[in-house]
Amino acid sequence: MSAAAGGLAPVAGEPDPGGADCVGCGRCCHHGPRTVHFLEADEARMGPRLLEMYTDLEVKPPGWRFMKNEGSRCAGLDVSVEGRFPCKVYEVRPEDCRIVEPGSEACLEARRLGKLGGSVVFRR
Ligand code: SF4
Ligand code: SF4
């Protein structure tokens, strides 16, 4: 699969609204660092073990916590099987990830760009 700058190749077509195409897509999980942030409820849901493994807590006030990045993608993405992009923390993923629903404007933009675009705004 050829990679676009900072992301993957575009994907054509509308995805299944129920999420059946997500594991084969993974475009919205490609983004820069400091993208997926945590609020208290997100931290509580994920729990200390996974927070330690997959997130960074910034020292600088106000001390935001973010998912770690691995290059141009979220560290929570399992890329061990080529062409498959399951989330390693799917059941406890933070609210930022839940906002991007299959078929939403942000999803379609991510598929077009090969990575998460600017149409999604996370409230902090
Ligand atoms: S871009 Fe859309 S289809 Fe692709 S993984 Fe994200 S929500 Fe699913
Ligand atoms: S936590 Fe999971 S769903 Fe959210 S961006 Fe990372 S890999 Fe994608």
Which residue would you say has higher pLDDT here, 51 or 122?
51
pTM, to two decimals: 0.94
Cross-strand pairs, 9 = none
Among residues 19, 8, 44, the alpha carbon closest in space to that of 55 is found at 44
Burial class (CB in 10 A: 0-12, 13-18, 19+), 74: buried
Tokens of 71: 């290059």
Ligand 2 centroid to residue 78 C-alpha, Å: 9
**Measured from the CA of 26, which atom of ligand 2 is nearest?**
8
Contact 71, 81 (CB under 8 A): no
Ligand 2 centroid to residue 88 C-alpha, Å: 8
Q: Which residue has the least CA distance to atom 6 on ligand 1?
A: 28
Task: Check pLDDT > 80 for residue 36.
Answer: yes
Burial class (CB in 10 A: 0-12, 13-18, 19+), 11: middle
> Tens digits of per-residue pLDDT, 82-124?
999 999 999 999 999 999 999 999 999 999 999 999 998 887 7
Parse the chain into domains and list their residue ranges: 27-113
Tokens of 111: 């598929």
Ligand 1 centroid to residue 65 C-alpha, Å: 23
Specify the pLDDT at position 122: 84
Determine whether the shortest distance from the Cβ of 106 to ligand 1 is under 6 A: no
